[in-house]
Structures are given as structure tokens and as C-alpha cells.
Structure 1
Amino acid sequence: MNKLRWLIAGFLLIHSIHFQVLAEDSDGVVRVKSMHSVATSVDKLESALSAKGMTIFKRISHSDGAAKAGLELRPTKLVIFGNPVVGTPLMQCGQLAGLDLPQKALIYEDEAGVVWFAYNDPKYIVQRHNITGCDDVIDKIATALHNFAGAATR
């Protein structure tokens, strides 16, 4: 029984580290590999957002827009979402953060057929707009985005 606990703990740790490694990037965009199709990932994201009381402002299908223009684009959807209770404190720290709000998640299929969930790293937004004294708000937003990405991709 004790070995089973260690095995499960090890699996969970490796899974957690794997998720974090895929999510790190230095260009201000967090990318998380999804185990689902674009459509399923979007549905799972919207379900998680609704469960947390977030407003889903819009779902945009870039690939549908491309098709209407006679162009081809792999499945690519943008979900725009937010909540003033979360976003307003960030703008109180630095109003230009409003350029990056509401939050956006881009879920797309790459040239290899891999589905990705991408979003702006809140820490990058802080750097971009030279925001200071707002660490608690940023941590809260980063945690929420991380959790939404996990809900959509696992």
C-alpha cells in the first residue's frame, strides 16, 4: 500500500512538472499542449470559466473567418473572457493594462496537428506596462489562468 502511495505521488509530481514545463516561455505567451481537439478544448475552457463566474464575451473562429475569405487556416479559436472583480484591480495598479484586458485564450492546431492553449503571461503584462505594487493581483490572475488552461487541456 505504501509503494502505491509513492507511485501515485510520483506520477502526480511528474504530471504537474510536465504541465509547467510546457507552459513556460520567454516571449510573454504561455503555451500549454492540449490532449483534446480545438473544439473540445474550447468547450472545456468555457465550462471552467462559467463555473468560476467569468463572463465569456466572445468566441471567435479565425479559421471560419479565413474560410469565408477563401483562405485556409488550421483550427484556431479565440475566447475572450473576464471579470471586473479581477481585472479592475490590475487596471487600478496600471490603467494601460486595459489594453490587454479582457483576457484572451487562443486555442489552435499547429502544423504537426498538435493542439495548443495560449494566453498572455500576466507577468509579461506587468513588465509591458511598468506596473508595480500589484503582486497579489498578478499572482491571483496567473493562478486562475493556469487553472483554466489545465481544465481545458487535460
Structure 2
Amino acid sequence: MLGLATRRSSLNVAQTVAAIQAELDRRGIPVAVVVDHSAAARKAGLELPATQVVIFGDPKAGTPLMQAAPEIALELPLRVMVRDDGGPGALITWPDPTYLAQRYSLPSQELSALKAPAGIVAAALEHR
């Protein structure tokens, strides 16, 4: 899908979310919240395959982005979605940093902060 990056985890949704949270903790990056969409759906009497969104960020990384392009605050804090698509393991999806940089006309030196989800996901899946 346009503007998104995706990677498959061999772990299930809960295990993948735990691995991502552990990697964020190792890096000292605060988790704002984990949104469990499937649990909310169940409470509403609906069904949704396991779907969770981990929302995280560091003001030291996000503030310069918002100083450069205030509208990017709509995309922050950063987030990754982990969902069960019926295949083995889980799918992890996050906003593509190049797409965000283009969308908000960010200077290239600001792109590194937006690359954090890819590195976090890769390291989380290696450290499991």
C-alpha cells in the first residue's frame, strides 16, 4: 500500500508486540500506548483478527520534525501496527519514511528520525 512499509514476523501478534516493546525499552524510547483494536472490537460485539498498534516516540527526535514541518504532528508519535492476516506469524506495518518526508516536504537530514520503526522492527525480530 502506498506510503507504508511491511515486514512479516514469524511470531504471533502478542509475541511480536512484546518483542517490539522490549526493543523500545532497550533503546530507552518511551511507549505512549499499545492500542488493541481486536479487544475493542470484541467489547463492541464485533470480530477483528488480532490487531495492535504500538505508539512510541522520543521528543528529542520528534520535536525537530515538527519544527521543520508542523503538520507532521499528525503522524507523531511514531507507530507500528501488528496484525494477524491469516498467514504464518504476523504482519508489521509502519509509515514509509520516504513517503512521509515527501508528504511533509522535510529536508533530507530529518529523514533519519522517521526511519526508526524499520530499525526497531528489525532489531526486535533479531533479539527474540
**TM-score scaled by length of structure 2:** 0.90
Gaps of at least 5 residues in structure 1 are 1-25
Following superposition, the deviation at residue 146 of structure 1 comes to 1.6
Aligned ranges for residues 3-152 of structure 1 at < 5 Å? Answer: 27-131=2-106, 133=107, 135-142=108-115, 144-152=116-124
Following superposition, the deviation at residue 151 of structure 1 comes to 2.6
For the residues of structure 2 that align with 1:87 and 1:79, how far apart are their CA atoms? 16
Which gives a bigger RCO, structure 1 or 2 (Cα 8 Å, sep 6+)? Answer: 2
The CA RMSD measured in Å over matched residues stands at 1.5
Q: Is the helix fraction higher in 1 or 2?
A: 1
Contact 1:60–1:79 (CA<8 Å) still a contact in 2? Answer: yes
Moved over 3 A (4+): 111-114
Q: Which amino acid aligns with 1:120?
A: P
For the residues of structure 2 that align with 1:114 and 1:51, how far apart are their CA atoms? 23
Following superposition, the deviation at residue 140 of structure 1 comes to 4.1
Contact 1:29–1:119 (CA<8 Å) still a contact in 2? Answer: yes
Q: Which amino acid aligns with 1:34?
A: S
Q: Secondary structure at the match of 1:70?
A: coil
Following superposition, the deviation at residue 153 of structure 1 comes to 3.3
For the residues of structure 2 that align with 1:136 and 1:107, how far apart are their CA atoms? 28
**TM-score scaled by length of structure 1:** 0.76
Percentage identity across paired residues of the two chains: 32
Report the structure number with the largest CA radius of gyration.
1
Following superposition, the deviation at residue 128 of structure 1 comes to 1.7
